[in-house]
Each structure stands twice: as structure tokens, then as C-alpha cells.
Amino acid sequence: MTMTGRKLNRRAFIKASAAATAATAVPTGWAIAQAKPLKVGLMLPYSGTFAQLGENITFAVEMLLAEKGGKLAGREVQFVKLDDESKPELGPQNAERLVKRDGVDVIIGTVHSGVQMGIHKVVKESGTLTIMPNAGNVALTRELCAKNVFRTSFSNWQPAYAMGVALGKRGVKKASWITWDYAAGTESGEGFKQGLEANGGQFVSLLTLKFPETNFQPLLAQIPGLGVDAIGSFFAGGGAVQFVKDYAAAGIKVPLVGSGFLTEGTLAAQGAAADGIETALHYGDGIDNAKNKAFRAAFKAKANREADVYAVQGYDAAQLLAVGLEAAKGNIEDEKALYAAMEQAKIDSPRGSITMSPQHNVIQDIYLRKVTNGENKVVSTIVSQLADPGTGCKM
């Protein structure tokens, strides 16, 4: 690892504090570090098709901090917010800005898998602790895994795999997948294929358009000719709103299913077009536990809208950070204590209990949901405590 970013700052800092200690005996470098606020970079989309996703993650992170009395492990927290616009080409430079210019101690980010790739390049080198509160890019907890990178959301494979399992088990023979042509879309399509084929179904085709385009008509026109019993899909945010409306308006008879993002945080805008759509996700409406009830009430009070999976993932990113920091007694440089505690964390999430896989991806239940009366009603658990395969990870 090269001595850039945080490592370099840390070295200079230790040198300076050693000199200070020699002269005055107090305070030590660690004590100085403790007194400084913890700088948390929130690199998220605050504009574009995923803007509401970024906002909900932010609200929920702030909520957890408020619940902790405004401090984590005794340290004040200072947020540095950066709108990544869900633009992969800006990912590396934006992440560098946070690490080098702003000197953040932690990055919580981001939503878009392509942007996450840019963050990953930067933080793998700098060693900056990074918690992914959404982006599901599978490689980041498989062959590109890193000891300083954790994910509290999902891998793109997880919910889509479960959706394929659910269809296969009920005897669906043939299905295709429609999505944006980027990591989240194609990796979820691969998960869906694996789940379906492992349960007796056949994956027919992958239909794509460019992210974040919403001209769905040419793809919708192909569906009747595919000869499939179901269409699976990954879209999210503003794109999902449009897709579900266009699908209903086209009068297509083939049932539409998907990774749960298709109907997550979007139901008010989708209206009747979403009625009856089944999806698979690690969250849903009607999860009956005390944590979820308290979380939803607090989120509604803060954000003036209902909580969704993005809020849950942001909240749990902050919960995971708190667990690590508390074990390290506020000293983010104590990587041994920090990472060990995060790896072993058992988090009481609004979605149910979650843990971390050895590759630092979340292990969680995946639910089948059905849109009923404007809610993603949980119908059943498709797979309990599903872990991503995590293949090729060497920490």
C-alpha cells in the first residue's frame, strides 16, 4: 500500500504528536485525535434519478447519530456531503476530493455501482474506512474485496437470486430480465438466472438500455414475442417509476417481477400501475419488530415520508460504524479493534438481524413482497440468512 491520503496524514500526525509529547508529556497523539471531530464523508447522489435514495440514506445516518446523542464513541461527528450525481466518470475524482482535500476519516457511499468502483480504487489505496449503504457491485465483496470496505445493503446478486428461486419453485418455466446496461442491472440479471435455473426454470434473454435512459418502448414491444411466463427486472428511483407505469400502460399480459428496488420508495408515484407486482428484497412493509416500528416512526418524523430500504441501509451503515468505533474507543486508527468488531457485528436492523460475511457483505433474509394497497407487503421469506457467494475474495 502506498502512503497516500489518510496513511500519509496519519504518519505526519503521529510524528508531530510524538514531538509534542516529548516537549510537554501531554496530550498524546491519540488524545488529540479523540478531541477532533470524526469527519464522515457522505458521497451520495443528491441529484438525478437516484436523488431520493441518497437523501433517504443521509436522513437515516443523521437519525442514528441523533439517537446516539450527536456523538460516536464520544467523538463529535462532522459530515462532508458530496453529490456524486450517479456519474461513474466522476467517481474517482470525487472520492479523492473527500480523502485528500477534505481529509475524511470514513466514507459512507454510495448508491450507484459504477460510482462505487471509483470510490473503491481510491480507498483501496488510501486505506480509508468505507461503508457501502447501497451499491451492490458484486466484485467489491468478491475478487476486489478489501479489509477497509464493508457493505450494509446487499450484493446485486442477492435479491435477484431469491426472486429467481421463488419463480422456479412455483413452476415458472421461462423468464427474461429487463434492465439498465450497467453492473447493477446485469449482475442482478445473473443472480435471477442462477436462482431460476437452480429451481427448474429457464432463463431466456437479457434486454437492456443505457443508464439512466427511460425510453422503454422498444424493449416493451419485444416482450409478447419472447414466449416467457414472467419478466424480471431491475430499475430503481425515477427510472423504476417510469418503467412500471409504461409496463402497465402497454397492457402487457406477462407478469412483471423484480429485485425489490422496482417498487421501493416509488409506490406513491407509481400508483395503480404497481398493484400486485411481486418483488424480492431484504426489507418490506409490515416487518413486525420493535426496532422497525421505532425506526419507521422516527424516520417519518424526520423526513416527512415513509422509510424504505435505502433508509434502512443508511441507518445500518451508521450502526456498523458505531459498533467499530466504540470497540476502538473512538480511535479510528486502531484498525485491528475497528475491523474485528465490524466483522463480528450482529446488528439489530429494522429489516431483522444481520451479520457480516467474511468478505464484508451483509448476510440477511430475503423476503417476497407483493404490492397491496400501496405497500410492499411482505408475503414470506424466500431465503433465510442469504450470503453472497463471495467467490475470489482474498483479504
Binding site for ligand PHB (CB under 6 A): 50, 111-113, 134-137, 156, 184, 236, 261
Phi, psi of 25, rounded to the nearest 5 degrees: 70, -30
Which cell is 270 given? Answer: 407509481
Contacts of 131 (CB under 8 A, 6+ apart): 106, 107, 108, 149, 150, 151, 152, 317, 320, 321
Which cell is 159 given? Answer: 435479491
Identify which of residues 158 and 349 has a Cβ nearer to ligand PHB in the complex.
Answer: 158
Using only C-alpha atoms, what is the Rg of the chain? Answer: 21
Identify which of residues 327 and 354 has a Cβ nearer to ligand PHB in the complex.
Answer: 354
Q: Peptide bond before 110: cis, by omega within 30 degrees of 0?
A: yes
| Type of residue numbered 274 | A
Identify which of residues 112 and 142 has a Cβ nearer to ligand PHB in the complex.
Answer: 112
**Least Cβ distance, residue 188 to ligand PHB (angstroms):** 8
Identify which of residues 5 and 118 has a Cβ nearer to ligand PHB in the complex.
Answer: 118
**Least Cβ distance, residue 111 to ligand PHB (angstroms):** 5
What per-residue string of b and e applies to 357-379 under the rule 16 or more CB within 10 Å gives b?
bebbbbbbbbbbbbbeeeebebe
Residue 249, H or E segment = helix 237-249
Identify which of residues 113 and 279 has a Cβ nearer to ligand PHB in the complex.
Answer: 113
Identify which of residues 63 and 184 has a Cβ nearer to ligand PHB in the complex.
Answer: 184
Tell me how far apart the alpha carbons of residues 383 and 333 are, in angstroms, rounded to a whole number.
37
Tell me how far apart the alpha carbons of residues 274 and 394 are, in angstroms, rounded to a whole number.
42
**Least Cβ distance, residue 16 to ligand PHB (angstroms):** 40
Question: HEC string of 77-139?
Answer: EEEEEEECCCCHHHHHHHHHHHHHHCCCCEEECCCCHHHHHHHHHHHHHHCCEEEECCCCCHH
**Least Cβ distance, residue 368 to ligand PHB (angstroms):** 18
**Least Cβ distance, residue 116 to ligand PHB (angstroms):** 7
287 in Cβ contact with 295 (< 8 Å):
no
Identify which of residues 146 and 236 has a Cβ nearer to ligand PHB in the complex.
Answer: 236
Question: What is the rounded (10 degree) CA torsion for 91, 303, 267, 168?
Answer: 60
**Least Cβ distance, residue 327 to ligand PHB (angstroms):** 29
**Least Cβ distance, residue 183 to ligand PHB (angstroms):** 6
Tell me how far apart the alpha carbons of residues 305 and 134 are, in angstroms, rounded to a whole number.
19
Contacts of 294 (CB under 8 A, 6+ apart): none
**Least Cβ distance, residue 348 to ligand PHB (angstroms):** 23
Identify which of residues 154 and 216 has a Cβ nearer to ligand PHB in the complex.
Answer: 154
For ligand PHB, the nearest residue by Cβ is 236
Length of the chain: 395
63: DSSP letter: H
**Least Cβ distance, residue 390 to ligand PHB (angstroms):** 17
Identify which of residues 38 and 184 has a Cβ nearer to ligand PHB in the complex.
Answer: 184
**Least Cβ distance, residue 363 to ligand PHB (angstroms):** 18
Identify which of residues 48 and 136 has a Cβ nearer to ligand PHB in the complex.
Answer: 136
106 in Cβ contact with 152 (< 8 Å):
no
Give the residue carrying C-alpha cell 476502538: 328
Tell me how far apart the alpha carbons of residues 360 and 306 are, in angstroms, rounded to a whole number.
29
